[in-house]
Amino acid sequence: MERNKIYVNGKRRILVADDEFINREMLEAILKDEYEVIKAEDGAIAYDVVKENKNTLSLIMLDLIMPNLNGMELLARLKEDSELKSIPVIVLTSDHKSEVESLHKGAADFIPKPYPEPDVIKARVRRLIELSEDRQIISATATDNLTGLFTTEYFYRYGEQWDKYQPDKKMDAVCIDINHFHIINERFGMTAGDHILQILADRLLEIFPTDDCLVCRKTADTFLIYCPHHEDYQNIVDKIDGIVTDIAASIKIRVGVYPCCDKNLEIQSRFDRAKIAADKIRNNYSVPVSVFDEGLLKTELYAEQLVEEFPNAIEEGQFQVYFQPKFNIEGDKPVLSSAEALVRWFHPEMGMISPGKFIPLFEENGLITRLDEYVWSSVGKRIADWKRRLGVSVPVSVNLSRAEMYDPSLISKLDNIINENGLTTDDLYLEITESAYVRDSSEISNVVNELQEHGFFIEMDDFGSGYSSLNMISELPIDALKLDMYFIKNAFSKSHNTKMISIVIDIADYLGVPVIAEGVETEEQYLAMKELGVAVIQGYYFSKPVPSSEFEKFLTEKGEQD
Ligand code: C2E
Ligand code: CA
Ligand code: CA
């Protein structure tokens, strides 16, 4: 398959400047099938036309002897002008002496009069245009070694050229990503991953033919496409999803589209928008196509703002740790058993920002480590303070993010917090989300094992939302299962079916660990959980997450009961 042919849809534009009517007509007749020919009957007019069309002219064919401004003078003017000098010029002449002079003055080639065969003229014109376009992009390596598709730099340059030739054509900027491509790499190896990228590249070229589309590979598994407007991208997903390869791995893609893009925007920004749209559905497999809208841009800008303001916010103490009680419901009366620490950001202008807005963002860019250290250390101090002032405390669990599991100093950081505050590992529990285990399971398990051996109580958070197999779970170091909130939501929405919850409880029994149900909001749910044998409950039914001062009332109550 020919991939790296330079192709711009629409005809390239050529100026023929000649004072003789018959010459102009002849050249036009020869070239008009392949090119859009514009004509000028003297040098002065030609100069104006060139200036007017400087961005779209592919070639100038110039007669040397013309009234008003002769060809040689015009050539000199063009070559002095930084905006015009890159447009190639072919000189048309019957005078052999002038040929050499015109080449010296910057003409790229000449065609003698009387004119040679039309095919010779066409071939020269074609070659010259190609040469000059090649020269313009010589700095960009044209194609990607692996897939043979355009590289990003080349792709953007051609996209821009393309726009010049068809400024009014409606074009879509499209970004295609493979879902969980890293898992394919991990499971089948890099060679297999590369193979899949090649297959996908081939399929993309079939779907987006090079005569009116441009396709490039941006990074690992991200592909960009510039194509005439399509209404139906689901249809394209259907042609790609489930491509089965000889390693029996099938892929699922997500597509971000910025349709009928605004050509006043830099080409790169158009594709940034397509990428923003694709990223929005990163973890949502049921929705494969996402269309850009301005709201998304606002979200993105908002995200940038949060990241920028983070260091200052930490300095100024804008983050505050809230506590949500967990109650053991196995006995006659619910008993406060522990709490979860949940962070909030009190922004001076935006007010309270919930962690759902910034945690995923900070997990992506690594800021989470800094924030969590702050949270853990606040929690350590707080527990010590309760013990000292109130004479009572409960274990508080903190959330660990995936990135932190790779921090070799994780244990020593947690140790420091415990030691500095005179606590033990019975005071500080750890919540680790199930999805953290699923990726790189063996590596993460080793870390969690170490934490557990060190004495920490490990709660597997959001259980049921990941994809762990029973087999895997039975080997994981866990002390409690926290049922994902959606189980409760689903069980009590329309269906009133608690079957799934029973199954999870059976799994927990099999593992010999208690179940904690999160997101219990109503008495009905509370009673149902009790009936099913859930050990611990956390949710609005008992309390929302509250500031530490408010949480103290649960502690004093407990102190009085004990
Ligand atoms: P999570 O660990 O699953 O935390 C439970 C979330 O459920 C909390 O949301 C909590 O306020 C909410 N919730 C509790 N009970 C109910 C209920 O009855 N109904 C409903 N609808 N919601 C309930 P929040 O505080 O917004 O936290 C969201 C997520 O942000 C947390 O999910 C956790 O993954 C993350 N997060 C929060 N604080 C931290 C932190 O300090 N460090 C890290 N790494 N992650 C954190
Ligand atoms: Ca949690
Ligand atoms: Ca959870």
Q: pLDDT tens digit string along 384-439?
A: 999 999 999 999 999 999 889 889 999 999 999 999 999 999 999 999 988 777 76
Supply 180's token pair.
């969980």
For residue 363, give the ligand 1 atom closest to its CA.
44
Looking at residue 14, its pLDDT comes to: 94
User: For residue 309, is it within any domain?
Assistant: no
Q: Chain-wide mean pLDDT for the chain?
A: 88
User: For residue 307, is it within any domain?
Assistant: no
pLDDT digits (tens, 9 = 90+) for 221-264: 999 999 999 999 999 998 888 776 666 567 889 999 999 999 99
pLDDT at 56 over 70: yes
Q: pLDDT grade, residue 9 (50/70/90)?
A: very low
If asked whether residues 280 and 411 sit together in one domain, one would say no
**Residue 18 φ then ψ, to 5°:** -155, 135
Residue 208, domain CATH:
3.30.70.270
Q: How far is the CA of 399 from the centre of ligand 2 (A)?
A: 5
If asked whether residues 479 and 545 sit together in one domain, one would say yes
Q: How far is the CA of 540 from the centre of ligand 2 (A)?
A: 15
* 3-class DSSP assignment, residue 106: coil
Q: How far is the CA of 186 from the centre of ligand 1 (A)?
A: 30
Residue 382 belongs to domain spanning = 318-561
CA dist 461 to 251, 266, 331, 397, 400, Å? 28, 43, 24, 11, 10
Number of domains in the chain: 3
Burial 333-345 (b: 16+ CB within 10 A, else e): ebebbbbbbbbbb
Residue written as tokens 């065609």? 111
Indicate which ligand has the atom closest to the C-alpha of 482.
3
Helix 21-31 vs helix 118-136: crossing angle, to nearest 10: 70
Q: How far is the CA of 342 from the centre of ligand 1 (A)?
A: 6
Pairing of strands 428-433, 396-400: parallel
d(CA 64, CA 52): 21
- Name the residue of 324, 367, 399 whose CB sits within 8 Å of the most ligand 1 atoms, as the mutation to test its pocket: 399
pLDDT at 168 over 60: yes
Question: Exposed (0-12), middle (13-18) or buried (19+): which is 369, by Cβ within 10 Å?
Answer: middle
For residue 538, give the ligand 1 atom closest to its CA.
15
Looking at residue 216, its pLDDT comes to: 94
pLDDT at 496 over 80: no
Residue 124, domain CATH:
3.40.50.2300
- Per-residue pLDDT, averaged over 286-311, amounts to 90
If asked whether residues 132 and 157 sit together in one domain, one would say no
Looking at residue 298, its pLDDT comes to: 86
Domain limit, last residue, from 248, 277, 292: 292
Burial 480-498 (b: 16+ CB within 10 A, else e): bbbbbbebbebbbeeeeeb
CA dihedral 274, 279, 280, 285 (to 10 degrees): 120
Q: pLDDT grade, residue 468 (50/70/90)?
A: low
- Give yes or no for a contact between 55 and 85, defined as CB atoms under 8 angstroms apart: no
Residues with Cβ within 8 Å of residue 96, at least 6 apart in sequence:
none
Looking at residue 136, its pLDDT comes to: 59
Closest to 501 in 3D by CA, of 512, 370, 489, 511: 489
Q: Quick one: CA dihedral 164, 166, 172, 176, positive or negative?
A: negative
Looking at residue 184, its pLDDT comes to: 80
User: For residue 304, is it within any domain?
Assistant: no
pLDDT at 2 over 60: no
If asked whether residues 490 and 535 sit together in one domain, one would say yes
Looking at residue 471, its pLDDT comes to: 67
Helices marked H in 21-179 — which ranges?
21-31, 43-52, 71-80, 96-104, 118-136, 152-165
Q: Give percent of the chain above pLDDT 70.
A: 94
d(CA 277, CA 254): 10
d(CA 433, CA 456): 15
The pTM of the whole model exceeds 0.85: no
If asked whether residues 416 and 533 sit together in one domain, one would say yes
If asked whether residues 331 and 438 sit together in one domain, one would say yes
For residue 482, give the ligand 1 atom closest to its CA.
3
User: For residue 1, is it within any domain?
Assistant: no
If asked whether residues 210 and 128 sit together in one domain, one would say no
pLDDT at 3 over 60: no
Indicate which ligand has the atom closest to the C-alpha of 355.
1
User: For residue 382, is it within any domain?
Assistant: yes
Q: pLDDT grade, residue 137 (50/70/90)?
A: low
Supply 371's token pair.
């924030």
pLDDT at 446 over 50: yes
CA 279 to chain centre: 4
If asked whether residues 250 and 348 sit together in one domain, one would say no
Q: Give percent of the chain above pLDDT 90.
A: 55
User: For residue 146, is it within any domain?
Assistant: no
Looking at residue 139, its pLDDT comes to: 44
Q: Quick one: CA dihedral 456, 457, 463, 469, positive or negative?
A: positive
If asked whether residues 495 and 361 sit together in one domain, one would say yes
User: For residue 379, is it within any domain?
Assistant: yes
For residue 462, give the ligand 1 atom closest to its CA.
3
Q: pLDDT grade, residue 470 (50/70/90)?
A: low
If asked whether residues 373 and 451 sit together in one domain, one would say yes
What residues line ligand 1, using a CB cutoff of 6 Å? 324, 342-343, 354-356, 359, 368, 372, 375, 399, 401, 431, 461-462, 518-521, 538-540, 545
Q: pLDDT grade, residue 188 (50/70/90)?
A: confident
If asked whether residues 65 and 135 sit together in one domain, one would say yes
If asked whether residues 347 and 368 sit together in one domain, one would say yes
User: For residue 196, is it within any domain?
Assistant: yes
CA dihedral 197, 203, 208, 209 (to 10 degrees): 110
Residue 323 β-bridge partners: 341, 546
Closest protein CA for atom 3 of ligand 1: 462
d(CA 305, CA 486): 31
- What secondary structure does DSSP assign to 313-371, as a single string? HHHTT-EEEEEEEEEE-SSSS-EEEEEEEEEEEEETTTEEE-HHHHHHHHHHHSHHHHH
Looking at residue 553, its pLDDT comes to: 96
**Residue 145 φ then ψ, to 5°:** -60, -40
Q: How far is the CA of 431 from the centre of ligand 2 (A)?
A: 6
